Amino acid sequence: MNSKIGRRDFLGTLALAGAAAAAQRTNLIDSAEAAANPSDGITSASASDLAAAIRSKKLRSRDVVEAHLERIATVNPKLNAVVQLTAEAARKAADEADAALARGDIKGPLHGVPITIKDTLETAGVICTGGTKGRANFVPKADATAVARLRAAGGIILGKTNVPELAGAAETDNLVYGRTNNPYDLTRTPGGSSGGEAAIIAAGGSPLGLGTDAGGSIRIPAHYCGLAAIKPTAGRVPRTGQFPLPLGARNPVFHVSLIARKVQDLALALPIIAGPDFRDHSIVGMPLGDPAKVALRDLKVAYFDDDGVATPTREIAAAVRDAAKAFADAGVKVEENRPPDVAKPGAVYLDISRGDGGAGTRAFLKSIGTDQISPLFERALTVAVAPAMPNTTEALGAFARWDLFRNSMLRFIENYDALLSPVMPYPALPHGTSFDDDRRIGFGYTQMHNLTGWPTATVRIGTSPEGLPIGVQVAARPWREDVALALVQHLEQTFGGWKMPQPI
């Protein structure tokens, strides 16, 4: 199937489904609260509702952009999430969007909607550091493919968001911009590596963001900040323009991904960024299914609340069981069943990452002019990619174990449509603790689905005793993003999803 036609058909169906759903729910833009304080209504709204309001001329794009810029000005001094603000360019683009609409021209499904971009995805004319000093002033000449596609669909970039150095940690801190804080508790991390995206979206500064995920980098921040996110199937979205560019044997674990306040926005944006660009050889032009056409009663879902390596908190385990019950109440066939190799991902992921013990990464940093590595990334290199494999035979054996793990997981999912589990075994951590011995073993929950390449969506369904968000993740069979999105959308409708942090 022609990928462009597939995206168009998908969006057309989604628009009809979205219109029907909108008639059944309270629209934040039209609510009494929003009428009393229009900016609050705008910065709580979904990207989908904002797009509809702009197209129907209930809102001007300029007003939507200004509301988000005002929100960024309010919250960013405490969060340090947006590290390059493109305010004037965004205002100009909004005015152009309003003028085009007045002529009857609609650029695309995101016409006039503001977005933010993770600082490991290149943006033409806007500094892209990747969180490392050697690129502190690097200005790309072209957009990453996914960025270009969002712009072409009418998205307006508000700015770039913070990352750990080379996106190499589950916290967000670097020597170029410093540390990003969690909007629900400033003493805690928003996660990483898409921590800046998660923090600003959760705080109302952006409705939709573009990030990446190589071991949980979109899903961990979504869990820590109470958001919806999707890591697509490996081979779905081009990584062209990602820094560092995914190359070599570990290439398949890297995914360009989406994060938003609402699940419907993931469904809106995914077909925009998906499909071959004839630059990234790994991308396949597979059709996208429509989440609105997924019948929950026809699905069978397995779940587990403990991988046998890192026991989750009582509340997180309960959240998984609550999600399983919500599925069962909707007619989904639900079974508690843990994949036989579920305890292996952490060890497999470590072994495929530590062939040279980080020597290649250090040489790469030196080659781009980074003369000082951040303490967080130094810790990551020490813990996550060391010690080096003793010889080539051992290194190659690690990739054989990866293949065996993938085969085992595929045999398991043959009997199910999806797999429900925790995202992490704990809520957002205090700054500087993610590499502590009792914490880093928890990454297997997310790394599992980078190793399989399966599409995996995340949504908030609860709150910890500390007042922090709790999310769960739903992984589906390869190429079935529609199933993952339909399931987490049901959880969002059942449990409420994202909640604005108060106060910041």
What is the distance of C-alpha 288 from the center of its chain? 18
Residue 31 phi/psi, 5-degree rounding, is -75, 160
The beta strand positions in 42-110, using DSSP E, are 82-85
> From the candidates 118, 133, 160, 344, which is the catalytic residue?
118
Residue 232 phi/psi, 5-degree rounding, is -70, 175
Nearest to 420 by CA among 314, 337, 298, 311: 337
Active site residue 56: no
Task: Give 375-378's long-range contacts (Cβ < 8 A, gap of 24+).
Answer: 376/164, 376/165, 376/169, 376/171, 376/173, 376/174, 376/432, 377/131, 377/164, 377/165, 377/166, 377/168, 377/169, 377/174
Active site residue 262: no
Active site residue 46: no
* CA atoms of 106 and 108, how far apart (whole Å): 6
Helix (H) or strand (E) holding 469: strand 469-476
> From the candidates 3, 44, 193, 421, which is the catalytic residue?
193
> From the candidates 44, 61, 217, 353, which is the catalytic residue?
217
What is the distance of C-alpha 156 from the center of its chain? 18
* CA atoms of 332 and 473, how far apart (whole Å): 16
For the chain, the straight-line distance linking the first and the last C-alpha, in angstroms and rounded, comes to 47
Token pair listed for 393: 């035979």
Residues labelled catalytic: 118, 193, 217
